[in-house]
Amino acid sequence: MKTNLIALLFIFLLIDGLKAEKMVIKRVEPMNWWVGMKNPKLQILVYGEGIGYYTPSVNYEGVCIDKVIKTENENYLFIDLNISSDSKAGKVPILFSKGKSQLIYEYPLLKRRTDADVKPNFSGSDNIYLITPDRFSNGDRSNDNVKGYNDLMNRKIEYGRHGGDIQGVMDHVDYIKNLGMTALWLNPVCENNQDAYTYHGYAISDFYHVDPRYGDNQLYQQLADKLHSNGLKFIQDIVFNHCGSAHWWMKDLPAKNWINDLSNGRSVFQNSIVSDMHASVFDTNKQVKGYFDTNMPDLNYDNDLLATYMIQHTIWWVEFANLDGLRIDTYPYADKMFLKKWRQLIEIEYPGIYVVVEVWVHDVAYAAYWNSNGTFTDKYDSGITSITDFPVYYKMLEAFKKDGDVWNAYHVIAKDFLYAQPQNNLVFFDNHDVARSYAELGYDMNQFKLGVTFTLTTRGILQWYYGSEIAMEQSDGHGVIREDMPGGWMGDSIDVFKKENLSDQQTEALEFTSYLLNWRKNSPAIDHGKLIHFIPENNCYVYFRVANEQTIMIVLNNGNANEVIELDKYAEILESFTTVKNVLNGQKFSLSGHLSILGKTAYVFELE
């Protein structure tokens, strides 16, 4: 279908009775652009047999060609267009000439939606629901298998495609909203036409089209519209570091240095190298130029044409789908100077758009390098203010496991001085790359509630992984932890969306997390309140979230014994309050000299 649509865009002119040559253009990317963008410059990639021998020209008011760039591959042309602020929407005829042979390609310039550059704010009370689309819900069984795509649906294979799709997500927007979410992030949905293991979405074979086993670009756009009409924001997962080995350009690369040489081997997977002032060139090159996986060619941002292509592809999706935010995969694996430039250009086009980047490190200092405002030795300023907070995640597990020590939680938060904006870090209970935290916390509901309460009340923007609200418990292998959402497939005996046949454990987890998520998104103290914590005693961690409108006291007792907490220690905060409301059960009581708390129990108190 996609090829037919492209073919319809070509108009051939017969000039002086000359016979037009066969169609040579196979792809033009981006497929369209918009008038009124803040950056008037656009570089379009034109691909087709022998197109490099042609000379393009434009005759359209407000649009001119600044430069034509040819590579060593005669099947590519890169055309730098300048689109003035007074240009009009329409089809720009690009005339390609080679001697007496000519052809015209009509390039669409669209009108932007009103306030397309205005993006909503993300703050501490946001709850972002993360979904692996293939494993959430099969809303359209007609696209389970698609001709030309060899990775067929097979739910019995843990790394196979299970049939979840965009329609399945659309069918359950009400569930996502009622759960207490404010935003949705999908793992990548762009085409992954590999022979196998394509369900995860990170081996992209076409950066401009949704994989047909999920739906199409128009359905993706409809999902965005439905989310917005329900008051939910939409985040797209962007992959810069690599593409899939089946990407369409891999059979005919635009330039020899478009990708890094596989002879570099695989990455050393040490994100700390990028910020290490003592790192060798050898190790740095292995980190940045090594392959994430042998079936995922590593993109080389020393090539300016590729860099521009990837920057524009991000802008195209934001504009096309009216996206509210971006999550960037494997951030420290790509060239950091390219990443800085990308961030600057995105900010110019969409001031304030939310960007969170994956920085998978255990240590706060390594993580803070990417959220630092250039305060470290090399003065590198990424322009990033939100990173995936893996240090907090790992310390949460250490703090709230059965024999854990809450000092781990205290110490990791105490290192926030290293960040420029720690309140924007993305905190998470688990995600698509790690074992379910219910398993990591010993399959114990009390430990689960302690970990959930900490994650949902500490500083930061929240990301919640689908299914953890019912205490999904898989822990071994990506294909397993990305398990099917019960109720997402016809014939499922358990249906979380209808709350049918849930176990007692699933029901307890769902009620607890849903209640706390819905409370959290409406809490001023969680949204922008200052975090003040106190040195733990007897494996009990006490901290406050303090805003002008609201003050919250959180008590997390990971000890087995009941405790009596003397309140004079907290007088600097409590002195102006007389009443306490337990957020989790609604009970109110007067403040006295102490609090009696149960072992292995989480408390959230609103002070009045």
Bridge partners of residue 98, in order along the sequence: 101
Collapsing DSSP states into helix, strand and coil, what is residue 369? Answer: coil
**605 vs 608: CA distance, rounded Å:** 9
**287 vs 295: CA distance, rounded Å:** 17
Residue type, 589: F
**458 vs 290: CA distance, rounded Å:** 36
Question: Considering only CA atoms, which of 29, 87, 17, 15 is closest in space to residue 58?
Answer: 87
Residue type, 409: A
In the annotation, is 358 catalytic?
yes
Whether 429 and 450 have beta carbons less than 8 Å apart is answered as no
**280 vs 271: CA distance, rounded Å:** 14
Which element (helix H / strand E) includes 448?
Answer: helix 445-457
Whether 67 and 18 have beta carbons less than 8 Å apart is answered as no
Residues in the chain, total: 608
**74 vs 69: CA distance, rounded Å:** 11
Contact residues for 571 (Cβ-Cβ < 8 A; gap 6+): none
Query: What's the farthest any 2 CA atoms get from each other in the chain?
Result: 99
Question: Considering only CA atoms, which of 198, 129, 235, 196 is closest in space to residue 462?
Answer: 129
Contact residues for 523 (Cβ-Cβ < 8 A; gap 6+): 125, 545, 550, 552
Question: Could you give the C-alpha distances from 608 to 82, 124, 197, 574, 581, in angstroms and in order?
Answer: 60, 22, 54, 10, 8
Catalytic residue among 29, 126, 298, 329: 329
Q: DSSP string spanning 34-92?
A: EET-SS-EEEEEEEETTGGG-EEEE-BTTEEEEEEE--SSTTEEEEEEEE-TT--SEEE
Q: Using the 8-state DSSP alphabet, how is residue 545 labeled?
A: E
Query: What burial class does residue 113 get, using C-beta atoms within 10 Å of its C-beta: 0-12 exposed, 13-18 middle, 19+ buried?
Result: exposed
Catalytic residue among 134, 140, 237, 358: 358
Whether 308 and 341 have beta carbons less than 8 Å apart is answered as no
Whether 260 and 316 have beta carbons less than 8 Å apart is answered as no
CA atoms within 13 A on the CB side of 256: 1
Question: Which residues are catalytically annotated?
Answer: 329, 358
